[in-house]
Amino acid sequence: MKSTVKSTCCYCGVGCGILIETENKRITGVRGDPDHPANRGRLCTKGATLDQTAPLTYRLLTPSKVLRSTGKRSQISWDAALDEAATRFAEIIRAHGPDSVAFYISGQLMTEDYYVFNKLAKGLIGTNNVDTNSRLCMSSAVAGYKQTLGVDAPPCSYADILQAKVIFIAGANPAVAHPIVFRYIEDARAANPDLKIIVADPRRSESAEIADLHLPIKPGSDIALFNGMLHVLINEGLVDRAYVEAHTSGFDALADIVKNYSPEQVAALCGIPAEAIVQAARWFGASEASLSLYCQGLIQSAHGTHNNAGIIHLHLATGQIGKPGAGPFSLTGQPNAMGGREVGGLSNLMSAHRDLANPAHRAEMARFWGVPFVPANPGKSAVDLFKALKTGEIKAVWIACTNPAQSLPNQAEVRAALQTAEYVMLQEAYANTDTAAYADLLLPATGWAEKHGTVTNSERCITRVVSALPAPGEARHDWEIVVDFAQRLGKKLQHPNIDNLFPYSDAESIFNEHRESTRGRDLDITGLSYAKLESLGPQQWPFPEGATRGKTRLYEEGIFPTADGKARFVAVEHLPTADSTTPELPISLLSGRMRDHWHGMSRTGTVPRLFNLEDEPLLAMHPCDMRHRNLESGDLARVANARGEMTVRVAERPGLQRGRAWMPMHWGSQFMNSPGANAVASDATDPYSLQPELKHAAVQISKCTLP
Ligand code: SF4
């Protein structure tokens, strides 16, 4: 029987809609959904080849116990697997307390999966030790929005790209990482030849090729650039004084700071000409509509929160927010990092943008869930969670739908932590990830075309995802596994309300509970339902009861969700990168993305066509740095620092300044003799967002001569 099912691409946060065509429970094709507002039928190479990831060759299909010393897997039943897991968790919790267990989950999960994981940890067990790979991807954007605009809500929409007169791309490379967003930028340029595009990136990236002005700033000097631009805006009378007065606070304190960021001073900090800073500020400030697009370059930094605040300041100072074509717009990395943020899926967040530090919010959620309390102490964030696993403070971890043995920085420490842990559960669709080697228990989860629920993309747009295929083998939906486990664990822990805590028979009942938790909050979706998402199509939040459509643009009235209704300027100062280059570690290694691959390649790495562009890991270097080391394109080089090393082939590439090298973060132990770029990446974290500085590491590079 033939059918066509609406779903979303499971790769990036653009959140493109797709149509999955099936015949007799087999995928026969995938195409862009012409009715989906995110992509209007377009797909990039990754989305267009999703059908080629359907074969089950690399899938995890049965629950298995693993003897870690030998890697030998033995198949067990779901009952036996979940009984064992619940028993081990209950024993550890009884002996060492709720904070001795942790959950490390993923922006690839559906919002419903995320919701029940969060409720299991914070509600049933009573630990906030639930963090996700979104900590590596978006937590500085969350903290940046909260510090300045009051809540974690990206104010813009993709429609703004087409209305912008200036597009400022900072620390993002949408040409390869968010290709459908880049198509909108190309459309905007085609429709308006006067559109100005500024790209700030230490490397001349693919996106910089379309720029009118490329600012190849020194790694980590983003705040200096933004403060320098604000200095120019103030000096040249380009600040919207009326907007600043009526709708913001804290401007004068920041204006005092940026007096010390003249274009000449900033030129020295950023390594670019002063005239370029002045030009960027003039274009931004004089434009009718300036839009910023930013991603991991600003976010994966030891001062990522202030990087985000710095760029948001430019919008507040010029009133370039809350109107068509204007505003700060963080591009989400993971397909459903936004959904995770909505249900409070980080160790320091709570459901529906509630604040864990707020006792009234904790009491509200405890009442809502029917549990005695929600613990006050923030849980461990990703990097600290694995450090605590190594010291034994956390004894058991449940990892779902993510691959920390490749994606976290300072891999030697992460792998040692997994090795040391008393008990590691891995819930995965794929059997081929590096983390699988460290698991005691493997639980097969459904993958992309089999999943159902809802996801939210970068522009706050919620899409209903419908299963196109039945679960293969014995795989189960992530939410089903969590609910089954929670009921078993609750009985073992003799939780007084366990019979009522996880009553869900389907994903829709979880969505409905999540929906109710948003009532009266900034992201209120009480007007939505599965039926409405199916009849109206994807909708942006907020969508409160009585609404007929979602909200395209936030803060149009200049009122912000802060105590006084005003947005806040934050006193931000230039800070160096966590790693400084030295004579021993003279090269700044930058990590980035390739057009045809996604994260750790557990999916894209199985599609031969996606290796057409580059078929092996390559380290891009400046020709002078290569000559200095007697390296030629194609030679093998050793890249090392105190955290680790890797051996990789080098390639001379244009667009890099001397002293900078670049490598994609996708390649891991499936393709290399090391965990890849994250072997040497820094685990220094931002003090507010706790996001590690994955983008930059100081390394030595030397020629590797093999016998
Ligand atoms: Fe769209 Fe991103 Fe998927 Fe490409 S990878 S099709 S841009 S969601």
Give the model's pLDDT for residue 201.
Answer: 97
Classified as helix, coil or strand, 388 is helix
Ligand 1, atom 4: nearest CA belongs to which residue?
44
Percentage of the residues of the chain whose pLDDT score is greater than 70: 100
User: Residue 10: CB within 6 Å of ligand 1?
Assistant: no
Give the model's pLDDT for residue 654.
Answer: 86
Residue 666 and residue 592 in contact, taking contact as beta carbons nearer than 8 Å: no
Give the model's pLDDT for residue 333.
Answer: 85
By most ligand atoms within 8 Å of CB, the mutation choice from 8, 12, 137, 207 for ligand 1 is 12
Q: pLDDT band for position 69 (50/70/90)?
A: confident
User: Residue 177: CB within 6 Å of ligand 1?
Assistant: no
Highest mean pLDDT among 254-263, 340-349, 651-660: 254-263
Give the model's pLDDT for residue 162.
Answer: 97
Structure tokens at 58: 């690399």
Q: Which atom of ligand 1 is nearest to the CA of 39?
A: 1
**What is the crossing angle of helices 139-149 and 304-318, to 10°?**
40
Q: Which atom of ligand 1 is nearest to the CA of 9?
A: 3
User: Residue 38: CB within 6 Å of ligand 1?
Assistant: no
User: Residue 180: CB within 6 Å of ligand 1?
Assistant: yes
Structure tokens at 142: 């969350």
Give the model's pLDDT for residue 432.
Answer: 84
d(CA 646, CA 697) in angstroms, rounded, equals 13
Give the model's pLDDT for residue 55.
Answer: 85
What order do you get walking across the sheet with 327-330 strand by strand? 213-215, 196-200, 166-170, 290-294, 327-330
Give the model's pLDDT for residue 707.
Answer: 77
Q: Which residues contact 323 (CB under 8 A, 6 or more apart)?
A: 289, 553, 556
User: Residue 43: CB within 6 Å of ligand 1?
Assistant: yes
Q: Please indicate, yes or no, whether the overall pTM of this predicted structure exceeds 0.85.
A: yes
Highest mean pLDDT among 110-114, 599-603, 671-675: 110-114
By most ligand atoms within 8 Å of CB, the mutation choice from 42, 43, 597 for ligand 1 is 43
Question: Ligand 1 center to residue 463 CA distance, Å?
Answer: 14
Which tens digit of pLDDT belongs to each residue from 258-301? Answer: 999 999 999 999 999 999 999 999 999 999 999 999 999 999 99
The region that residue 66 occupies, defined by phi over 0 for left and psi between -120 and 50 for alpha, beta otherwise, is beta
| Residue type at position 699 | V
pLDDT higher than threshold 90 for residue 131: yes
User: Residue 486: CB within 6 Å of ligand 1?
Assistant: no
Question: Ligand 1 center to residue 341 CA distance, Å?
Answer: 20
pLDDT higher than threshold 90 for residue 706: no
d(CA 9, CA 48) in angstroms, rounded, equals 9
Q: What is the mean pLDDT of residues 5-28?
A: 95
Question: Ligand 1 center to residue 177 CA distance, Å?
Answer: 8
User: Residue 666: CB within 6 Å of ligand 1?
Assistant: no
By most ligand atoms within 8 Å of CB, the mutation choice from 8, 14, 108, 463 for ligand 1 is 14
User: Residue 181: CB within 6 Å of ligand 1?
Assistant: no
Give the model's pLDDT for residue 261.
Answer: 98
Give the model's pLDDT for residue 597.
Answer: 94
Give the model's pLDDT for residue 14.
Answer: 96
pLDDT higher than threshold 90 for residue 70: no
User: Residue 345: CB within 6 Å of ligand 1?
Assistant: no
Give the model's pLDDT for residue 301.
Answer: 96
User: Residue 17: CB within 6 Å of ligand 1?
Assistant: no
Give the model's pLDDT for residue 345.
Answer: 87
If 0-12 CB within 10 Å is exposed, 13-18 middle and 19+ buried, where does residue 41 land? middle
User: Residue 409: CB within 6 Å of ligand 1?
Assistant: no
| Residue type at position 107 | G
